[in-house]
Amino acid sequence: MDSSLNISSETINLNKYLLENKDCLDLIISNLNKLSDKSKSFFKDSLTKDGRIDNQLLEINQFQTHGYAWFETYRIGLRETLNWFTRLEKNNEAKEIDASITLFAFAEYLTQISNGIMMSQSEMVRPKDLGLEQNDFLFMQEESVKDIIDLGLSDMVKKTIVDSLDKDIHANLGLNDETLEMIQDQFKKFTEEEILPHANEWHLKDDLIPDETLKKMAELGVFSIAIPESYGGLGMGKVAMCVVTEELSRGFLAAGSLGTRAEIAGELIRLGGTEDQKMKYLPEIASGNILTTAVFTEPNTGSDLGSLSTRAQLKDDEYIITGNKTWITHGARSDLMTVLARTDSEQKGYKGLSMFLVEKPRGNCENPFPMDGMSGSEIEVLGYRGMKEYEIALDDIKVSKKNLLGEQEGNGFKQLMETFESARIQTAARAVGVAQNALELGLQYSKDRSQFGKQIIKFPRIFCKLAWMAMETTVARQITLFSAREKDNDVRCDIEAGMAKLLAARVAWSNSDSALQIHGGNGYALEYPISRVLCDSRILNIFEGAAEIQAQIVVKGLLAR
């Protein structure tokens, strides 16, 4: 490659450039794979005691090992972004914005990997933390790699991205499937017409999403996508669920999250339930007749489900369940709760936990829990409104032993673990939807707002923010879709799902913060939707596994491979 490339030129064909330098991009991925192997060996050597990874050493080195999880997330993100562009080019669908995003992603993430990856606003992991040395990055001094980095970080590439956005040309989703593209178009239209016009009002009034909207969502198949056809669902898999979830979350996070409630319960019953339980509940969940809620977390346990204390004692043909639960999303309006409780008090930790399918009358805001033995109060929250959060007290509620999931005690935690891949993939898709919404809001405001005689989109500090947002949203989307495809192909993807959730949640928050900054003072006003999106985005780094828990899961999985 010509190392004298003039990146100030406006005539570079970026698609052609990428194709001509595909070998260099492959070389970068190959070198990152080598760094991955070296870092993994470093951690295995330093954390192994008596032939196995020592949990105490893992905790002592938590910052460093979580940095390794982020390094791997970047590596897989770049790999899947390159695969995305390669598929687009093969199908003659690649646009200049797609090539620009790919170049920007490689340049930015490679630079961060070699200098410091931001795990959060206050935590940066350096190569030495990962057992890497400067000599390991000598490949970045090759002229071809240096040129890719220089071009990828240039204003020319960022302007190309934003000029395309200005013309309403967004990055290709890369679905490569006519049915999925049709679904995306359908839900994009639904979101534009039924969700976005009302989302800010629902948020400001802290209203539940109206029943009429839920009915329309059910008719479109939101609750049935991943449920098998034999049980009344569409049986379309996780990629389709990601497409639907992203579009709905682009309109309002709670709208995308309604499908998650059905996803969690549906997966639990499909994988762990008896045939009678499947026949009874799955068709009703698929149709939207039964709304579900997950009842797992307790006030003093958080992510430590092994310390769960809610008890379920068998008496004759019924279980008596007693305990307190918190952060119960959509708790009042739900008809079926999946409740995790301890059936064997002699067993500590995760052993002795069982999952129950607890039917309840549907409540409302005035009378949330019209059921004997159940009471609760709303937890008022900054964002993620539209479904409402609750603390719930279960005081000797009675549940038929036929409603023990699988009708066998002690499998609750295992049953829950089997759903986590799907839940985290979908949560990543929700985060991508929120990130896309933030990008669109920031973009529109920068086009509408003029200062000092021109649109603010023309100022470098603004168009650089927008280019960054578009790039990271695409990387997060592609690693999410990759994990969903793996899941649909019955390939274990717990690590990849964790990576997708880890990155997408950070991107949603970053995009929202940048978009609010673009709005300036107006972004701080409640009347502007970006203030809602910022509040919504913050929860994504916490629920379905906080970022720290997510990184821990990813790194333990990586070191176990």
CA distance 529 to 261: 25
Please state, as a whole number, how many other Cβ atoms lie within 10 Å of the Cβ of residue 26. Answer: 13
Please state, as a whole number, how many other Cβ atoms lie within 10 Å of the Cβ of residue 9. Answer: 8
CA distance 262 to 461: 42
Please state, as a whole number, how many other Cβ atoms lie within 10 Å of the Cβ of residue 173. Answer: 18
* Cβ 285 vs Cβ 262: under 8 Å: yes
Give the angle subtended at the CA of 64 by the CAs of 60 and 67, to the nearest 5°: 140
Please state, as a whole number, how many other Cβ atoms lie within 10 Å of the Cβ of residue 63. Answer: 12
The closest alpha carbon to 266, from 232, 302, 240, 296, belongs to: 232
**φ and ψ at 450, to 5 degrees?**
-120, 140
Which are the contacts of 545, defined by CB distance < 8 A and separation ≥ 6?
303, 420, 424, 498, 501, 553
Torsion of CA 12, 15, 150, 500, to 10 degrees: 150
DSSP state of 224: T
Catalytic residue among 108, 246, 486, 544: 544
CA distance 462 to 518: 7
CA distance 449 to 184: 30
Q: Which H or E run contains 88?
A: helix 62-90
> Helix, strand, coil shares of the chain as percentages rounded to 5?
60, 10, 25
Please state, as a whole number, how many other Cβ atoms lie within 10 Å of the Cβ of residue 169. Answer: 14
93 is catalytic: no
Chain-centroid distance of CA 521 in Å reads 29
Active site residues: 544
